[in-house]
Amino acid sequence: MTRYFKLSAVAAAALLAAPAFAATAVDANAEFDTGYQNHGNGVIQGGRIETNISGKGTNGDFFVAGRGTLILGSSGSAGADDAWVQFGNSVVDLKMVRFEAADLWPTPGDVFRMSSLYTLNTLRGRATYAGPAGTNDRFHAAITANIAPGTSLEVGIVEKKDVSTSPAVGLSPAGAGGAKGIRPSVAFAAGPVSARLGFETGKVADGATATASFTGFGGWVSAGVAPDVTVRANFSSGKVKFGAGDLKTSAILLGVDVMGANISFETGKNKQGGVDTKNTDIFAAYAIPLFGVKGATFQPALGYQKLKVGSGATVNNSKVGFRVHYDF
């Protein structure tokens, strides 16, 4: 496996070092939002400017592509989002370095989503963990094969030398920083129905100096039931084998999209050491053209979250807020 990783890295370096194979495309967009949230947050505001540099070259059915994304945040932060190379043909291709693999928990209209559920994205990618002395000891690659009309298989591989020193613990959307393993998924599309099913398994940090094994599975299905009306459902189940007691998690999402408006309901539960944490989320948004300017929209959005922890000495936390999101 290590040998394969090294050969893949050499192949990518050779491709990137080759003479320019296509004109470079540059594009940019901006996203900003403002709103209000309770629990002491008050008025909130944020946003970012995204600049993308990409290119793609072809030779018959074969292609080589690459993309880099610079993010400038409203807080004054700066960083990279995408930084990947991809090559192959219409049957199979390989993507490597910094990217996001297929989404196993899509959430249209998540302008104000406050969920802390397990969403099958622990090994999806774009890890932020840096290794010793500023190096990045993480490898991420995904092979995609179009195995039949409307059907494709993606197999993602994440490798790290030392998971235990990473900041992430357990199964969460932020878990990519402290995890390694394999993540296969299969996508289907037939008429108005589409779906993706998959699982991920590997090692995560246990919060101390060791690692814990984990497994999660699930996916989503969506269907167009009428013109401009789509219904969708997501489901997930996961388990982490900690020494102090296994963590078990499950979740579902039900949503509907109607002519630019969408609403979703999520609910799930984490259980560890006999303590249950129940999470309920509702979020909705409506995309409206802004002054008729092409590519410009604003989205009024609402979000609600309720957490219920344990029994007896129960802790209930409810969060609610609204936000207006601008996209140019």
Q: Is residue 295 part of a domain?
A: yes
Q: Residue 116, by phi and psi: left (phi above 0), alpha (psi -120 to 50) or beta? A: alpha
Could you tell me which of 240, 179, 173, 250 has the C-alpha nearest to residue 218?
250
Q: Is residue 240 part of a domain?
A: yes
Q: Is residue 234 part of a domain?
A: yes
Entry pTM: 0.85
Cβ atoms of residues 51 and 79 within 8 Å: no
Number of domains present in the structure of the chain: 1
Residue 254 structural domain? 104-122+171-328
pLDDT in tens, 141-180: 999 999 999 999 999 999 887 777 665 555 654 444 578 8
Q: Is residue 242 part of a domain?
A: yes
CATH of the domain at 296: 2.40.160.10
Q: Is residue 193 part of a domain?
A: yes
pLDDT in tens, 279-308: 999 999 999 999 989 889 999 999 999 888
